[in-house]
Amino acid sequence: MKKTLESSEDSDLLVRLNHSFKSLSKGQKQIASFIMENYDKAAFITASKMGRIVGVSESTVVRFAYTLGYDGYPELQKSLQDLIRNKLTSVQRIKLTSDMNQSDVLRSVLKADMANIRATIDSTDSEVFNTVVDELFGAEKIYIIGIRSALPLAQLLAYYLGMVLDNVVLMNSTIGDVYESLIRITGRDACIGISFPRYSARTIDALKFAKTKGARIIAITDSTFSPISELADHSLIAKSDMASFADSLVAPLSLINALIVACSLRRKEDVYARLSQLESLWGSQRIYATGESDRL
């Protein structure tokens, strides 16, 4: 069954399609109809493949992008990906990679993750990053929330940031406990929300609540257009373009690592002293394997 992309006044691509449809050629109208009825497929296929599916030439698809005012097909495709990113279900996501050759999976996924890191480097605002570090050191308490696939990221950030600062609170992801954890948040605190497509409604609601309390909101997400970025005072952007139904969290993890390192460098002596104490404790409690006897 075909799915029709919902219309929206804020959807630039749809506005262009609606305004231009009557003036399009027959072949271009076929492309436009295909995009609106099969948006989940159209967003991730090449111009050549779209042409074959629709029954037009690749050059017709490229000219179609120019007709809509884009600089080329890649820009049109990116506009469509941004538009539908949060609409894709897990089933639709995995269908996008159903044509991938099994022997190409490893290279394809690793190359996609490398591309995400490169894109994150290119889009990183060092001034915003440094401001976020300042906000963390100026906060009375730091609340961290990440739900579903973002939970491991939130846990990692809270674990290591807790070795640097004494005021880190990792919020429980259950509905009631989120608000119970936030009930004492004030304008002297900071709240870090971590969310990537598909964006967690509970994370959005928690940040809205924290904002009403006057807390500084820091978003770690994939776009300045993401719903948590729109709530944030500061946004750290990491690309997470998916290779399948599983979210690509390599770039977000790298960004969080950078945040942890930057904070630890602000308190090198304190971190060194704390880790020295922990190493003694870990050794006495045999927390980590140290030799052959530990593996038996």
Q: Are 172 and 178 in contact (CB under 8 A)?
A: yes
DSSP string, 28-97: HHHHHHHHHH-HHHHTTS-HHHHHHHHTS-HHHHHHHHHHTT-SSHHHHHHHHHHHHTTT--HHHHHHHT
Q: Are 74 and 44 in contact (CB under 8 A)?
A: no
Residue 202, judged by CB atoms within 10 A of its CB (0-12, 13-18, 19+), counts as: middle
Q: Against a cut of 0.75, is the pTM above it? A: no
150-198 per-position pLDDT tens digit:
999 999 999 999 988 989 999 876 656 777 778 889 999 999 999 988 7
CB crowding 116-150: b at 16 or more within 10 Å, else e: bbebbeeeeeeeeeeebeebbeebebbbbbbbebb
pLDDT, residue 6, reads 43
Of 151, 197, 159, 195, nearest in space to 40 by CA: 197
40-85 per-position pLDDT tens digit:
678 778 889 999 999 999 999 999 988 888 888 888 888 887 666 6
252-295 per-position pLDDT tens digit:
999 999 999 999 898 888 877 887 887 888 777 777 777 655 55
Domains of the chain with bracketed CATH: 12-84 (1.10.10.10), 119-284 (3.40.50.10490)
